[in-house]
Amino acid sequence: MEKTVLYQFLVEVPLAAAIWSALLVLALIVLTVLVARPDRDRPEDDRSAPAGPTERESAAAEAADLRRYADEVAVAAAGATQTARRKRDEWLAAQADLDRAWAAYDEAESAARRYCGAGALPTPRTPRTPAEYAARERHLHRSATAAYWRGELTLRQLGDVFGHRDGWDPRLHPVEQEVHLARVVRDGRLAGYRAAQERERSAWRDAELAAEAARALATEAYTAAARLRPGRLPAARPASAAPAQVVTRWQPARVG
């Protein structure tokens, strides 16, 4: 009897252990499959799953982006319009400076022609004494100083007069001194006119670029505003409503 019980124990215990081991392995396999594919057993109407935006939400987000872009372009267009107006005012000021520079050069050229005509005549004979040369030097200094205060000579040129440099000779007759002074003033006016002409050209180019940028931004702002009203495109803007109108350029007289 005891041998029978012992035999059954020795036979059934390993069998039970084998069965439990197989069940444990099976449970581990199922658990691994569930962990690897968590969506397999998820219900189709699971509300915890992330849902995409609806059509209305997408349309609202797109409209918000369009409105933000239209506002940004409108601000940029307004700033460009102000810049174009400022550049145009700067060009008009440069053009006025050019007119004044031309008038000053024309006056200096006329004076130089008169003095050159007078210089073609024989120089009056005067006694060449120390007193005469001192009088000629005083005349040169007075004439040059007066020209400096009129803005016809620079400070450096006035220094050349008193230093007797750059062709300023106090021994020359006062008529010859006036001829030389008139030529120097004319040359200085010509240089000033050419500098003003270059400034006017540069200001004109800047005004043209600013006006073109303002027009481009105004067109883009109009298009962006039209996108906010689908099916209600506003009428085309007339050419007179451009933010920066192009003005006809005045071409000054050129000096040969």
pLDDT tens profile 13-54: 566 666 656 666 666 676 666 656 555 555 555 555 556 677
144 located within any domain = no
- Flag whether 108 is in a domain: yes
In three-state secondary structure terms, 142 is helix
pLDDT recorded at residue 234: 47
Would residue 115 count as lying in a domain?
yes
Residue 168 lies in a domain: no
pLDDT of residue 202: 95
Q: What is the DSSP letter of 223?
A: H
Which residues of the chain, if any, have pLDDT below 70? 1-28, 30-52, 57, 59, 117-127, 230-256
Structural domain includes residue 88: yes
- Cβ contact 109:186 at 8 Å: yes
CB 231 within 8 A of CB 143: no
Quote the number of domains for the chain.
Answer: 1
CATH value at residue 68: 1.10.287.620
> What is the C-alpha to C-alpha distance for residues 80 and 74, in angstroms, rounded to an integer?
10
Task: Answer whether residue 38 is part of any domain.
Answer: no
Amino acid letter for position 79: G
**Contacts of range 139-148, beta carbons closer than 8 Å, 24 or more positions apart:** 139/174, 139/177, 140/168, 140/170, 140/172, 140/174, 140/177, 141/170, 143/174, 143/177, 143/178, 143/181, 144/168, 144/181, 147/181, 147/185
Give the pLDDT of residue 192: 94
CA separation (Å) from 37 to 42, 49, 50, 62? 10, 15, 17, 36
pLDDT above 90: percentage of residues in the chain: 32
Q: Could you list the residue range(s) of the whole structural domain that residue 95 is in?
A: 58-124+173-229
Inside any domain, residue 83: yes
